[in-house]
Amino acid sequence: MHILFLPKWYPNEYDIFDGNFIENHAHSVKLVAQVSVIFVHSESKSENTYRLTQQNNQGINEIRVFFKKATSKIGVWNKVVTLFRYFQAQQLAYKQLLKTHGAPNLSHVHVLTRSALLAIHLKMKQNIPFVITEHWSGYLKANGLYKGFLKKMGTELVVKQASGITTVSSQLKEAMQGHRLLGEYTVIPNVVDTKVFVPIETNHSRTEILFVGNLLQMPKRILDIIRSMNVLKQHYSNFHLSIVGEGVDEKACQELINELSLNQEVTLKGTLNRAEVAKTMGESDFLILFSYFENQPCVINEALSCGIPILVPDIPGIAERMNEELGIMIPTGDLEAFDAALLKMCNSHGKYSKQSIRAFAEQEYSEQSIGQQFLTVYQNALKHG
């Protein structure tokens, strides 16, 4: 079976972490099928209208096409040109795919709606069905970015043509259904490479806490997390928080750390590669999140694969896969509960079983498990068309 991934986001030369969770899904699917990826991205400075690259990424055939960004002074015209060039870029990549790997049996669209243009075309012209995986939190009420007549109309038209839809959480499935996006849904969570994210034996002289994510007050509440470290310091002095990531509030984070004299307790580590994140996670005692909203965060799966417990809000996308053996869950947005749980976790993280947490992650989030779940979706899509 040859599956064609059509992602809106995917790692590229402008952002090596863009949609890396989609790349992870591709690595799980390659265990059960041949996988090709066509990814399209605009670029401002380009001599040619289109630029194509192709590579093999550990068994995944990746074709990226970059198109020249429209730069006229008329906004509406730019949008029309962008849409045209995007589809042309997809077709250029598809011609290359036919030359090197042949036609796919099925298209797999990741994140609507522009990325589905080629999938719709292939279904109409060659009767190649497609399925959708949605990751975008814009459908959630707490986010509210799913709006606009054209956006909604286009999304509804694409969803009606799909032979299957998967979401990374039940919360996201229900949110999409609430927007009249109806179809055959399957919940398949984000995947983790359990060969990279592994438990590490440690012997710390202090409690090592970890946050991994975008440094944003909204929705990650990163500044509130730093303030909570100042509260924790009054009751439990022997700890250290590593903050991995970058974002628009990074400067504000460092200023707050300086203001609260937390330079010994809190370190901004910036962006790390996957191996570095895995090592940092394995060497940590527990992971924390305090977001206003999430779908099904990859960092949770990765932390559990490393065998470390988690402190997380009871956001539906998190709560549906949470249990007491994995850590502590608090009411979303409750700062007092978060502060209390931080202190409790500092005093009790050692009671959690690394082996049990790791076993849960392997069963729920491993490439083998996720690959088989996608295979079932593909088989059903091909059977029913």
Instruction: List the single range of 72-81, 92-101, 250-259, 310-319 with lowest mean pLDDT.
Output: 72-81
Report whether 31 contacts 367 (CB < 8 A). yes
For residue 72, what are the CA distances in angstroms to 83, 87, 282? 14, 19, 49
Retrieve residue 159's tokens.
């969803």
Superfamily designation of domain 2-191+366-384:
Glycogen Phosphorylase B; (3.40.50.2000)
Question: In this model, does residue 329 exceed pLDDT 90?
Answer: yes
**Domain coordinates in residue numbering, the chain:** 2-191+366-384, 207-365
% of the chain beyond a pLDDT of 70:
100
Query: CA-to-CA distance for 3 and 23, rounded, in angstroms?
Result: 13
Mean pLDDT within 292-318: 96
Mean pLDDT within 333-351: 97
Q: Where are the alpha helices (DSSP H) in the chain?
A: 20-29, 75-100, 117-126, 149-161, 170-178, 222-233, 250-259, 274-282, 298-305, 316-319, 335-348, 354-365, 367-384
Going by pLDDT thresholds of 50, 70 and 90, the confidence category of residue 106 is very high
Retrieve residue 366's tokens.
């491993």
Q: Which tens digit of pLDDT belongs to each residue from 230-256? A: 999 999 989 999 999 999 999 999 999
pLDDT score of 357: 98
CATH code for the domain defined by 207-365: 3.40.50.2000
Question: In this model, does residue 17 exceed pLDDT 90?
Answer: no
| Burial class (CB within 10 angstroms; exposed 0-12, middle 13-18, buried 19+) of 69 | middle
Mean pLDDT within 335-363: 97
pLDDT score of 268: 98
Going by pLDDT thresholds of 50, 70 and 90, the confidence category of residue 322 is very high
Average per-residue pLDDT for the chain: 96
> Exposed e or buried b for every residue in 163-185, given b needs 16+ CB within 10 A?
bbbbbbbbbbbebbeeeebebeb
pLDDT score of 1: 96
pLDDT score of 46: 83
Which helix (H) or strand (E) element contains residue 331?
none
Query: What is the DSSP-derived secondary structure letter of residue 12?
Result: B
Going by pLDDT thresholds of 50, 70 and 90, the confidence category of residue 89 is very high
Going by pLDDT thresholds of 50, 70 and 90, the confidence category of residue 203 is confident
Q: Which tens digit of pLDDT belongs to each residue from 44-87? A: 888 899 999 999 999 999 999 999 999 888 989 999 999 999 99
- CA nearest 195: which of 308, 32, 361? 361
Q: Which tens digit of pLDDT belongs to each residue from 214-225? A: 999 999 999 999
Which helix (H) or strand (E) element contains residue 289?
none
**Residues 6+ positions from 106 with CB-CB distance below 8 Å:** 1, 2, 3, 4, 128, 129, 130, 131, 163, 378, 381, 382
Mean pLDDT within 141-159: 95
Question: In this model, does residue 201 exceed pLDDT 80?
Answer: yes
pLDDT score of 212: 97
Report whether 171 contacts 140 (CB < 8 A). yes
Mean pLDDT within 119-148: 96
Question: In this model, does residue 385 exceed pLDDT 80?
Answer: no
The number of angstroms, rounded, from the C-alpha of 278 to the middle of its chain's C-alpha atoms is: 16
